[in-house]
Structure 1
Amino acid sequence: MSEVFLGAWHTVAPVRGERHGPLAPLLLLLTLITGFVDAYSYLVLGHVFVANMTGNVVFCGFAIAGAAGFSLPASITALVAFAAGALVGGHVAQLRREHRARLLYAALLIQTVLVAAAYIVAETTVPTREAGSRYTLIILLGLAMGVQNAAARALAVPDLTTTVLTMTITGASADSRTAGHGLKTGRRLLSVLTMFLGALCGALTVAHGHAGVTLLIAFVLLIGATGYIGRLIDSTEPWVTPVV
């Protein structure tokens, strides 16, 4: 059990010289943001995810089957927007692949602008009643989360994909009795807990009539992450080099 807590702690506060440097806590922060953003999209934009694409594929099946509350156009829009964002994020990763701090910084700049735009749209329109506003938000947020996921994939920090937890949960269970995997289990469980907390706080914010604040919180967290990594774009520490 102590190894599990130690693994979680080292994710939040990496030891000096750790292979991934400050990337692990930053990606954990992006996992928290995912919870906020998906809470907003599902509860406000009508049973659609902008980060969890597995859910949208399932929702497409539900919509085709005629299940109430699910929209095929909305789910497809989210899938296409996410894929387009991932394409952009992949291009950024190719251009900045030699320096992981610069890679993350560029991706966060794009994501921050997209989430800021989404917040403005959410606050100046009524997405629950206006189809144009709803689809604009799905596109903006889908693009943002696609960029984030592509960047996280390129950074290749184990067990911190920021948007997908299926394999993380599988690993936490499958490796739980394997000697030497306590540190990994701690990180995996922390990742799951972080997304849970983001979703919980986001849902509570929406439920209390402050839906737009959910996106505002995500924006503020992104500003913080961008500002922090921006100070490290000239770093020559070993963690900035790509994972082979």
Structure 2
Amino acid sequence: MATPVRWDGALLRGPVHGPLPALLLVMTTATGLVDAVSVLGLGRVFVANMTGNVVFLGFAVAGAPGFALAASLAALGGFLVGALAGGAVVARRGHRRGHLLRDTALVEVVLMLGAVALLVGVTGASGSALASVVAALLAVALGLQNAVVRRLAVPDLTTTVLTMTLTGIAADVRGAGRPVVTRRVLAVATMFLGALAGALLVDRVPLAVALVPAPALLLVVVVVLQLAVLRPEPWQVGPG
């Protein structure tokens, strides 16, 4: 069960969530970049946005040109594996929020660097087979992230899905305070910037190189949280 949402009135840092809002925005940027690389470089497959991926899967089953059935299935399966692993980790370590997100981001860095290594080093496999394996690996990372971020329950910062965020911007425009609206707008903006950067990179550099900024951003999250957990603060403690 997800942690009840708590709002402390702060935009990017406050007593309830500490630096998590700012760090989740960094992760949202990385998500936009990874999905840009997967959609534009792996054959129209989402690895973070499973709503879009299920739609793409329907297109592939219908035989629409340009959509890869194997890659979509691999991404969907990988995401579920990552979410399953995330649920197990949350059950054991959900009460230590800083440690939980730090370790999650570190695992994501390893998985994404593994995807980079595959793109660089594997030359014998067919393009579709390689795309499926890379999509699955990236989707495991994003499924893990999604499960953990769901537990953290920082308002309006899911890092992977913006539908409800956009709904909130419009539906609550009269009643929500400025920090709430600003945080929602920042979530949309960071996803957009990540996708924009990813699209520009895919068009100009090898796919492996285009993916590198995503684990680099997540490594920043790891370093910041490693420093943060050295000094225990109330925001780090969640329900056991």
Q: TM-score scaled by structure 2?
A: 0.90
Identify which range, 209-218 or 125-134, moves more after superposition: 125-134
Structure 2 runs not aligned, ≥5 long: 1-9
Q: Corresponding residue for 2:11?
A: 11
How many residue pairs match? The answer is 233
Q: Corresponding residue for 2:3?
A: none
SS at match of 2:185: helix
Question: Is 1:76 matched with 2:76?
Answer: no
Q: Corresponding residue for 1:210?
A: 206
Instruction: Tell me how far apart the structure 1 counterparts of residues 79 and 105 of structure 2 sit (CA, whole Å).
Output: 15
Question: Is 1:115 matched with 2:112?
Answer: yes
Q: Corresponding residue for 2:45?
A: 48
Following TM superposition, by how much is the alpha carbon of 1:208 offset from its aligned partner in structure 2, in angstroms?
Answer: 1.1
Question: Is 1:65 matched with 2:56?
Answer: no
Aligned residues of 2:74 and 2:133 also touching (Cα < 8 A): no
Amino acid at match of 1:11: L
Instruction: Tell me how far apart the structure 1 counterparts of residues 24 and 123 of structure 2 sit (CA, whole Å).
Output: 31
SS at match of 1:231: helix
* Alignment match of 1:199 (pick from 189, 195, 198): 195
Instruction: Tell me how far apart the structure 2 counterparts of residues 32 and 176 of structure 1 sit (CA, whole Å).
Output: 24
Aligned residues of 2:28 and 2:160 also touching (Cα < 8 A): yes
Q: Corresponding residue for 1:230?
A: 226
Following TM superposition, by how much is the alpha carbon of 1:189 offset from its aligned partner in structure 2, in angstroms?
Answer: 0.7
Following TM superposition, by how much is the alpha carbon of 1:195 offset from its aligned partner in structure 2, in angstroms?
Answer: 0.3
Identify which range, 140-149 or 58-67, moves more after superposition: 58-67
Aligned residues of 1:156 and 1:243 also touching (Cα < 8 A): no
Identify which range, 65-74 or 23-32, moves more after superposition: 65-74
Following TM superposition, by how much is the alpha carbon of 1:235 offset from its aligned partner in structure 2, in angstroms?
Answer: 3.6
SS at match of 2:11: helix
* Alignment match of 1:220 (pick from 200, 204, 216): 216
Instruction: Tell me how far apart the structure 1 counterparts of residues 182 and 105 of structure 2 sit (CA, whole Å).
Output: 26
Aligned residues of 1:45 and 1:127 also touching (Cα < 8 A): no
Instruction: Tell me how far apart the structure 1 counterparts of residues 106 and 45 of structure 2 sit (CA, whole Å).
Output: 25
Instruction: Tell me how far apart the structure 2 counterparts of residues 58 and 162 of structure 1 sit (CA, whole Å).
Output: 20
Q: Corresponding residue for 2:183?
A: 187
Question: Is 1:39 matched with 2:36?
Answer: yes
Following TM superposition, by how much is the alpha carbon of 1:26 offset from its aligned partner in structure 2, in angstroms?
Answer: 0.6
Alignment of 1:60-209 (within 5 A): 60-125=57-122, 130-178=127-175, 180-209=176-205
Cα distance, 1:105–1:191 mapped onto 2, change above 3 Å: same
Instruction: Tell me how far apart the structure 2 counterparts of residues 62 and 89 of structure 1 sit (CA, whole Å).
Output: 29
Identical-pair percentage = 47
Following TM superposition, by how much is the alpha carbon of 1:170 offset from its aligned partner in structure 2, in angstroms?
Answer: 0.4
Structure 1 runs not aligned, ≥5 long: 1-9
Cα distance, 1:37–1:120 mapped onto 2, change above 3 Å: same
Aligned residues of 2:23 and 2:221 also touching (Cα < 8 A): yes
Displaced runs of 4 or more, over 4 A: 126-129
